[in-house]
Structure 1
Amino acid sequence: MCGIYGSTIYYDDHIVRAKLHKVQFRGPDYSGFERINNVILGHNRLAIVDLDHRSNQPFTYHHLKIVFNGEIYNYQAIKAELKTFGYLFSTSSDTEVLAAAYLQFGENCVDHFNGMFAFVIYDTQAQTIFGARDRLGKKPFYYAQNGTDFEFASQPSQIIIARNVSIDQQAVNEYMIWGYVPEPRSAWQQIKKLQAGHKFTFSTTTGIFKTEKYWDLNFSETGRYIGNYSTAVSELKTLLNDSVKIRMQADVGVGVFLSGGIDSSLIAALASAQTDQVKTFCIKFKEKEFDESVFAEKIARHLKTNHHTIECNPDEGISLIENFGDFFDEPFADSSAIPTLLLSKYTKRHVTVALSGDGGDESFSGYTRYKWLGHANPLFKLPNSARKMLAEIIKLSPNYRHKLIAMGISQVDIKALYAYMFGGLEFSWLGKPDLGLNVPYMEIWSSPTLSLQQKMSAFDIKTYLNGDINTKVDRASMAFSLEARAPLMDYRVVDFANTLPDHFKFGGGIQKRILKDILYQYVPANLYNRPKSGFAIPFRHWFKNELKDYVLDQLSYHELLEIPGIDARKTSIIIKEHMAGTWNRFPQIWKLLVFKQWLKNQQTHSIPGYHLA
């Protein structure tokens, strides 16, 4: 896990160093750059595999130069295959294998990789640049391109140093709905994200830049699973065991994030079955409704792991809030990023790699909203006028949850309902809300062959998992030089899950049915007889109590007037509603706090002699 950077634009050495230093936390073990022809390649290294300096980057292999962020988990198998073609290797790193695979397989090398990655290879003979991002978007890749000017980085704060950039207002509008900026946009007009599962080529001589999708979800009828349920359980268990095994390969210490939920418990159980030296880590809140540490501790005792519990309190929460923008760069409003930052901070004191349970909810129908949408879907077979009449009756209730239900069934269709659930369904506080459903992957909802469950799963994998979960975990773990690996996001597991009948994943009212049946082979089922709470932080309570003065100071009416794109008067009202306890508005408040800090931080990215537009 590292940070990569490159440019065909000429910058003085001190500017290049500033761009690398900006995200040195991503790779504190070595930082360096090279100039090759008119190309600059830079790298911050977090050493995980082959700790020797010989594997530092930029790495040279024949006439190729490479910078690489991530891990190729099956690199040993690829290396063995390449040796049969006569390739020789001077290191034990996956970086060298990646470069050799490009020489052998060309752009199709990405089809051979099982891993999380964002890399760039510069062919010094052809003067072309080739790069790719992993299938599910675990690793970030930002770029700016205009003619032969091409610049890329792991984080956008590197690119905007010494450049004139401007805020993308459409991206801001999308952030206010989704809580993050969906790909391929970034928060700046000049910078884009390479989409997950895509590769690109760039000619340094002609300036021609092309992207191509190399992987996608497959729900084809010809690929449907034809075995019975017990066979599927056995096959998935084998896949998961291998996925965990290859992610435990490292020349540094490896641990597991253990929240006490189904997914993280399953990963911890499979890891413990392979070694008796597993270290597990969880977060503790004093607010009982958010605290799952007691369950995590019970599971850790059952699995006999070396367990560590980390306590999160409002004071430390404020500290992380105030430094939030230093790591996340773009506005990002998933409040669980705060406990993830804290968890990463303390986990790093013990290990350098941590396995997580991310990806289970999306592939195996685990989110509570999947159940809600299943209940709501029949209503959308009624005429819109009938639903609006029903909504008028429901919203007479003083309970804000009933009002949200009324807003939900008033949406034009199930697609709009699902999309706007992420924004809280109510947008009166936005000055000129652009609520067009024009973000990528919306076409999934129009597929005539997919079930509602398949549509929700596919859409979440392409959007929420990619834009929210992966961003959160990458930035939070990298903030403390910790590598996070997600066995449930192995593309083989995702592909297999997509072949399964819906009722294997959500059947008989049981969500994540098949994962649970594997987990219960290791941990007693009665340890999970409780509601799903997720990895949330008690902002709803804190904003009305411990953090009330902070919120009212940061989001006073005067301060709200400085935030573009919102109605300050209506926004002030929703903040008062939260403080009075009549409506839970913490998601909107958190979005505003994050965005306000992000605006302020934009003036800190410049270096002497340069400014932002």
Structure 2
Amino acid sequence: MCGVIGVFGDAVTRQSTILRMVIALESRGPDDSGIWVDYDAGLGLGHRRLSILDLSRSGHQPMHSPCGRYVLVYNGEIYNHNAIRQELESKGGAFAWRGHSDTEVLLAALRHWGIQGALERLNGMFAFALWDRTEQTLFLARDRMGEKPLYYGRNGDTLLFGSELKALSAHPDWRGEVDRGALALMLRYNHVPSPWSIYRGIYKLPAAHYLAVRDKGRHVGEPVCYWNLANIAIDGARGAVGEPDVLAEELDSLLSDSVGRRMMADVPLGAFLSGGFDSTMVVSQMQAQSARPVRTFSIGNAYAEYDEAHHAAAVASHLGTDHTELYVTPEDAQAVIPLLPRMFDEPFADSSQIPTYLVSELARRDVTVALSGDGGDELFGGYNRHVVGSEVWRRVNRLPAALRRFLGGGIGTLSQRDLQRWKSRLPPRMQAPNLELKLEKLGKALGAADGFEFYRSLRSHWKAPERMVLGVSEQREHGGSVDRLSELPGLREQMMLLDMLTYLPDDILTKVDRASMAVSLEARVPLLDHRLVEFAWQVPTEYKVRDGQGKWLFRKVLDRYVPRSLMERPKQGFGIPIEHWLRGPLRDWAESLLEERRLVNEGFFDPAPIRKAWSQHLSGQGRNQHNLWCVLMFQAWLDEQRSVVGTIS
């Protein structure tokens, strides 16, 4: 795991500039660093290394091909690099390998097959830049699911790119202007969705894409998709067939292989274990392939509705792992908040970022690599919107829109006490944490014009953020919508695809990458092996959502490893009690960031809806913590940027 940066332009590229940008990514690679400048081309490349495979100098980057034509900087892991090495050797070419790093294999694959051919063969997480000195062309590429980040964009006459925005802003000529349309999207989704960033003119390279840059950085080509998830989903759903037992056997085999590949490391390795289905599956597969107890890590806290540590401990005891848990105090968690703006580089408001950082910090004390269970909900229909939301829409969509709005409005008028009373009457297995909040959100979504609008409403925090952000003239949609959504069988499948294209890379994987890399920990996500993704779309939907539960086939496989009695409980998010903290120990901090005069002077927001939401939250008339957290994370980020790079507009 590493960090990459680059500068490409007409101006003289200085080694001191590249070094300054590389230093900004130190936490991504504390073990080694390197820079290289092609003065004639106006190109500079930099790299930070967290040594995982081949700890020797033979894995040093920037790496040059033996012929001298290509130069590579690369962040990630190629899990099938041994197979690719063997395939290259079988071609009969002369390969004088310097070591056993996957970087060297990636560079050889790019030389032999070209950018498209190499990318189609890779199984891994990665972002890289390849310089072709003969063609004077720079290629930027990102992995299929978006596990590893890559930003790029012009700053004056210079193209900048890198693993994190802090590296770009370290350039001495950096000028950052807030993209107000991206800010409005951030208030809706709690993150800035691809392909945008918070800065105007700076973009995220979309997952499963590459692009070419020529003419000394003046010509930046359109991103090219080399693995089309929408096509895979549509084609797979159309032909989805199979018997449950056969599919379960195939899924078990794929999971075993994917996890086994991601256990490859020359450094200590472990796993995050929350006790939920996904992390339990990953750890079960790890322990089945390990001769010694697997190191597992979990975080607990004092708020029962957010605490899964005792579930994780029970799973760890059953599987026989070497388990470490840490119960953090509110003070421990709150101490992370000042670190978030620098950690995430752009406003990011998924509050589970805090426990994700804490569990990463805990794991890093003993291991350098940790496997994570993210992705199972997106692949196998595990979110409430997949299970309940799509069924509700199927039923209410038959009603006139006016009646749907009336019903939704009725739910919206229920007090928090009414919602909690309604929740208490449900069977215990249905009393999921924060169910009343989910019901309130569902009520607001009932008036949607169509299924896509229904999905967007369920995903939204602020419902009309373009009206709150000053200077936004029109509503911008997220970049993950696809023209072929209607070709999927129904809304459930459409939601799952949209989650894979948007929520997964831009929220979940961003959170895991930044939080883990902040402590120099490599996080690997075996459930997002592209073969598993392709397989999941070939599984009939009725084997994903069945009998009112998501992930039915996934659970069927997990039953082979862990008793169902350990797993049967309502779905629980990986969160923290932000609601309570904003009324208590974080109140003064929040008030200073949301102060009306400050909001007016900064000129980004209309203060009225923000102050209203804050007042309602403090009085207990509303639970607006998630909406407010979006604004607070932007405000805290704004303070950080001013202190680091000066005034931004």
TM-score range relative to shorter protein: over 0.9
* Alignment partner of 1:279 is 2:295: yes
**Contact conserved, 1:407 with 1:425, CA < 8 A, in 2?**
no
Match runs of 1:153-232 below 5 Å: 153-161=162-170, 162=172, 163-205=174-216, 207-210=218-221, 211-217=223-229, 218-221=232-235, 224-232=239-247
**Contact conserved, 1:416 with 1:437, CA < 8 A, in 2?**
no
- Could you say which residue in structure 1 is the equivalent of 2:8? 8
Residues 255/403 of structure 1: CA separation in 2 closer, same or farther (3 Å cut): closer
* Alignment partner of 1:142 is 2:151: yes
Of the three residues 456, 459, 480, the one matched with 1:422 is: 459
CA distance in 2, matches of 1:382, 1:563: 45
Cα deviation, residue 13, structure 1: 3.0
Unaligned stretches of 5+ residues in structure 2: 420-435
Which is worse superposed, 392-401 or 472-481? 392-401
Match runs of 1:332-481 below 5 Å: 332-377=348-393, 378-399=395-416, 404-424=441-461, 426-427=463-464, 430=468, 436=475, 438-443=477-482, 446-481=485-520
**Contact conserved, 2:53 with 2:265, CA < 8 A, in 1?**
yes
CA distance in 2, matches of 1:165, 1:530: 47
Cα deviation, residue 151, structure 1: 1.8
Q: Which string of whole-angstrom CA distances, capped at 9 and with x for unpartnered residues, describes residues 175-195 of structure 1?
A: 010111111111111211111
* Alignment partner of 1:240 is 2:255: yes
Of the three residues 76, 79, 100, the one matched with 2:82 is: 76
**Contact conserved, 2:468 with 2:606, CA < 8 A, in 1?**
yes
CA distance in 2, matches of 1:79, 1:215: 22
* Alignment partner of 1:532 is 2:541: no
- Could you say which residue in structure 2 is the equivalent of 1:116? 125
- Could you say which residue in structure 2 is the equivalent of 1:21? 23
Q: Which string of whole-angstrom CA distances, capped at 9 and with x for unpartnered residues, describes residues 297-319 of structure 1?
A: 00001111000102222212222
- Could you say which residue in structure 1 is the equivalent of 2:113? 105
* Alignment partner of 1:314 is 2:339: no
Report the TM-score, using the length of structure 2 for normalisation.
0.90
The residue identity in structure 2 corresponding to 1:196 is: A
CA distance in 2, matches of 1:442, 1:434: 21
SS across alignment from 2:283 = helix
CA distance in 2, matches of 1:256, 1:473: 13
- Could you say which residue in structure 2 is the equivalent of 1:31? 33
SS across alignment from 1:347 = helix
Cα deviation, residue 144, structure 1: 1.2
- Could you say which residue in structure 2 is the equivalent of 1:51? 55
CA distance in 1, matches of 2:524, 2:55: 18
The residue identity in structure 1 corresponding to 2:339 is: N
**Contact conserved, 2:594 with 2:610, CA < 8 A, in 1?**
no
Q: Which string of whole-angstrom CA distances, capped at 9 and with x for unpartnered residues, describes residues 321-362 of structure 1?
A: 111111100110000000011111111010000000000000
Cα deviation, residue 544, structure 1: 2.0
**Contact conserved, 1:148 with 1:205, CA < 8 A, in 2?**
no
Cα deviation, residue 452, structure 1: 1.6
CA distance in 1, matches of 2:405, 2:270: 51
SS across alignment from 1:57 = coil
CA distance in 2, matches of 1:404, 1:539: 18
Q: Which string of whole-angstrom CA distances, capped at 9 and with x for unpartnered residues, describes residues 455-490 of structure 1?
A: 011000000001001110000000000000001010
**Contact conserved, 2:187 with 2:462, CA < 8 A, in 1?**
no
Cα deviation, residue 34, structure 1: 0.9
Cα deviation, residue 221, structure 1: 4.6
- Could you say which residue in structure 2 is the equivalent of 1:262? 277
Match runs of 1:438-587 below 5 Å: 438-443=477-482, 446-562=485-601, 564-587=603-626
Cα deviation, residue 435, structure 1: 7.7
Cα deviation, residue 570, structure 1: 2.6
Of the three residues 99, 121, 124, the one matched with 1:91 is: 99
Which is worse superposed, 510-519 or 557-566? 557-566
**Contact conserved, 2:195 with 2:204, CA < 8 A, in 1?**
yes
**Contact conserved, 2:233 with 2:497, CA < 8 A, in 1?**
no
- Number of aligned residue pairs: 610
Residues 304/596 of structure 1: CA separation in 2 closer, same or farther (3 Å cut): same
CA distance in 1, matches of 2:527, 2:84: 22
Cα deviation, residue 254, structure 1: 0.7
**Contact conserved, 1:183 with 1:195, CA < 8 A, in 2?**
yes
Residues 526/564 of structure 1: CA separation in 2 closer, same or farther (3 Å cut): farther
CA distance in 2, matches of 1:304, 1:446: 44
CA distance in 2, matches of 1:496, 1:403: 35
**Contact conserved, 1:352 with 1:483, CA < 8 A, in 2?**
yes
Which is worse superposed, 125-134 or 294-303? 125-134
SS across alignment from 2:305 = coil
Q: Which string of whole-angstrom CA distances, capped at 9 and with x for unpartnered residues, describes residues 426-471 of structure 1?
A: 4488256778362223236841333222101100000000100111
Cα deviation, residue 91, structure 1: 1.2
Cα deviation, residue 268, structure 1: 0.4
**Contact conserved, 2:54 with 2:100, CA < 8 A, in 1?**
yes
Cα deviation, residue 425, structure 1: 5.7
* Alignment partner of 1:130 is 2:146: no
**Contact conserved, 1:290 with 1:533, CA < 8 A, in 2?**
yes
CA distance in 2, matches of 1:562, 1:147: 28
SS across alignment from 2:110 = helix
Q: Which string of whole-angstrom CA distances, capped at 9 and with x for unpartnered residues, describes residues 96-152 of structure 1?
A: 100110111112210000000001111112211122100000000001147973221
CA distance in 1, matches of 2:318, 2:601: 53
The residue identity in structure 2 corresponding to 1:412 is: A
- RMSD (Å) for aligned C-alpha atoms: 2.1
Q: Which string of whole-angstrom CA distances, capped at 9 and with x for unpartnered residues, describes residues 532-570 of structure 1?
A: 112111111222223233323332333343454433133
What is the identity percentage for the equivalent residue pairs of Structure 1 and Structure 2?
35
Residues 259/20 of structure 1: CA separation in 2 closer, same or farther (3 Å cut): same
Residues 406/84 of structure 1: CA separation in 2 closer, same or farther (3 Å cut): closer
The residue identity in structure 2 corresponding to 1:266 is: M
Cα deviation, residue 253, structure 1: 0.7
CA distance in 2, matches of 1:526, 1:406: 33
SS across alignment from 1:186 = coil
CA distance in 1, matches of 2:587, 2:158: 47
CA distance in 2, matches of 1:206, 1:34: 17
CA distance in 2, matches of 1:517, 1:154: 38
